[in-house]
């Protein structure tokens, strides 16, 4: 630690506290609808579509999830996310004899499969668009979801209308664009309690030679969205994300289950922005201003030797902004 005087530290803490109060007020005063752009494109998939076609649609449009519509019930039917595609892989690993059927599997059947083998099901919680942002965040954090669909009802026809899907990134970007308070979040990560608490648990890592199936297993077992990949000196060099599974299936993983993660990553699209890293000297001010400009879903915290010491996810940031108590912020 540095030679900072107690007074400066106290000042920083108070600013941090003020900023968080301000951001909470802001989240309570704005509705989920406010986050949506004036004009946007939304892709809704019909549950009678095949998994294969759905995957092509996601990849073609550079998206990683889509809300579903059941034409039998004429209702919203949950979200399709990378977790579902991981489930597909896992199911077929257990039932290798059915591997030929995968191309015909529909989204409806996928849901049945997930039920049958007791895997995590498609997230179906949703909120009306005029729910306050604070409640939307709360609901997401409590259900461990990274996104939440906004479902409205047409006043005249009483039909459900899928308005959009709100993601944690969209909310944090909205905050960073509209809350001047983010500049006051000067407290370095190393002094924020939840960061150091979280860093005490060891991070599961992989290297370029780790079999891809092991990496997928790590993702599901730990319920995480990304596995850091390190070299022989434990330096962070890359990451495997749950969403990378989409490209893996597209390329036909069933034909080659022995790929290493390094090989699998060769198929990653050039659109991939790269892995964001930060250090314990960074503050939420610098992180939020990065979120304002770049699409990122987590930052790996590295030390001087590029070793991973932790990870900061968007849920971590939201949870801290929403739920941290005064003692935690001021000490």
**Candidate segments 22-30, 87-95, 196-204, 263-271, binder of another protein by CB under 8 A:** 263-271
- The correct pick among 88, 226, 299, 321 for binding another protein (CB under 8 A) is 299
User: Do residues 13 and 331 touch, judged by C-beta distance below 8 A?
Assistant: yes
Of 203, 213, 218, 237, the one binding another protein (CB under 8 A) is 237
Q: Which of 132, 220, 290, 313 binds another protein (CB under 8 A)?
A: 290
Q: Which residues pair with 82 in a beta bridge?
A: none
**246 interacts with another protein by CB under 8 A:** no
- Minimum CB–partner distance for residue 142 and another protein (Å): 27
Question: Using CA atoms in the order 12, 13, 17, 18, what is the torsion angle rounded to 10 degrees?
Answer: -30
Q: Does 328 bind another protein (CB under 8 A)?
A: no
- Could you list the beta-strand ranges (E) of 89-204: 147-153, 160-167
The structure tokens listed for 133 are 């942002």
Q: What are phi and psi of 298, to 5 degrees?
A: -165, 160
Helix axis angle for 193-200 and 314-323, nearest 10°, is: 130
Confirm if 110 and 101 have CB atoms less than 8 A apart. no
Contact positions with another protein (CB under 8 A) in 4-33: 4, 8-9, 11-12, 15
CB count in 10 Å sphere of residue 230: 18
Minimum distance from residue 95 beta carbon to another protein (Å): 26
Strands annotated E in 109-225: 147-153, 160-167
Shortest Cβ 252–another protein spacing (Å):
9
In the region spanning residues 203 to 232, those forming contacts with another protein, defined by CB under 8 A, are 208, 231-232
**Contact stretch for another protein (CB under 8 A) within 3-11, 119-127, 135-143, 218-226:** 3-11
The two three-digit tokens of residue 156, written as one number = 């005249």
In terms of CB distance, is 188 or 310 closer to another protein?
A: 188
**Smallest distance, Å, CB 43 to another protein?**
10
Choice from 6, 118, 158, 221 touching another protein (CB under 8 A): 158
| 200 forms part of the interface with another protein (CB under 8 A) | no
Residue 130 CB, nearest approach to another protein (Å):
19
Binding of residue 152 to another protein (CB under 8 A): no
Query: Whole-number minimum distance, CB 325 to another protein, in Å?
Result: 22
Segment lying near another protein (by CB under 8 A), choices 23-31, 81-89, 118-126, 178-186: 178-186
| Total site size for another protein, rule CB under 8 A | 75
By CB under 8 A, the residues from 31 to 90 that bind another protein are: 41, 44, 46, 59-62, 69, 71-74
Alpha-carbon distance of 135 to 72, in angstroms, equals 31
Nearer to another protein, 91 or 310 (CB): 310
CB of 232 to another protein, least distance (A): 7
Of 135 and 275, the one with the shorter C-beta distance to another protein is: 275
Q: Which is nearer to another protein, 74 or 100 (CB)?
A: 74
Does position 279 interact with another protein (CB under 8 A)? The reply is yes
Query: Which of these, 120, 110, 119, lies nearest to 54 by C-alpha position?
Result: 110
Q: Which of 10, 28, 159, 295 binds another protein (CB under 8 A)?
A: 159
Per-residue b/e over 99-110, b at no fewer than 16 CB within 10 Å? eeebeebbbbeb
> Residue 233 contacts by C-beta under 8 Å, 6 or more apart in sequence?
305
Query: What Cα–Cα distance (Å) separates residue 97 from each residue in 104, 117, 208, 252, 254?
Result: 15, 16, 30, 16, 12
Contact 161, 139 (CB under 8 A): no
């Amino acid at each position: 630690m540095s030679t900072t005087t107690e007074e400066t530290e106290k000042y920083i803490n108070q600013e941090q506290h003020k900023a968080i109060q301000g951001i909470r007020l802001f989240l309570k005063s704005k509705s989920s609808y406010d986050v949506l752009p004036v004009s946007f494109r939304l892709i809704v998939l019909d549950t009678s579509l095949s998994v294969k076609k759905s995957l092509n649609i996601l990849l073609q449009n550079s998206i990683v999830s889509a809300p579903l519509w059941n034409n039998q019930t004429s209702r919203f039917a949950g979200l399709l996310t990378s977790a579902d595609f991981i489930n597909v892989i896992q199911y077929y690993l257990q039932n290798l004899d059915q591997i030929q059927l995968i191309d015909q599997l529909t989204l409806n059947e996928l849901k049945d499969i997930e039920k049958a083998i007791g895997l995590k099901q498609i997230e179906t919680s949703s909120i009306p668009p005029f729910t306050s942002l604070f409640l939307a965040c709360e609901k997401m954090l409590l259900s461990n979801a990274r996104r939440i669909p906004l479902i409205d009802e047409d006043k005249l026809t009483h039909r459900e209308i899928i308005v959009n899907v709100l993601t944690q990134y969209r909310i944090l970007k909205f905050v960073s664009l509209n809350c001047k308070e983010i500049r006051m979040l000067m407290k370095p990560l190393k002094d924020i309690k939840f960061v150091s608490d979280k860093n005490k648990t060891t991070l599961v890592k992989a290297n370029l030679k780790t079999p891809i199936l092991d990496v997928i297993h790590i993702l599901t077992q730990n319920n995480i969205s990304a596995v850091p990949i390190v070299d022989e000196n434990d330096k962070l060099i890359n990451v495997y994300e749950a969403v990378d599974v989409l490209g893996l299936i597209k390329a036909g993983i069933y034909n080659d289950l022995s790929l290493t993660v390094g090989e699998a990553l060769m198929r990653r699209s050039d659109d991939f922005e790269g892995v964001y890293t930060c250090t314990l000297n960074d503050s939420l001010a610098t992180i939020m201003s990065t979120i304002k400009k770049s699409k990122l879903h987590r930052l790996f915290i590295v030390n001087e030797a590029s070793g991973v010491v932790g990870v900061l996810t968007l849920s971590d940031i939201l949870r801290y902004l929403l739920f941290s108590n005064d003692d935690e912020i001021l000490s």
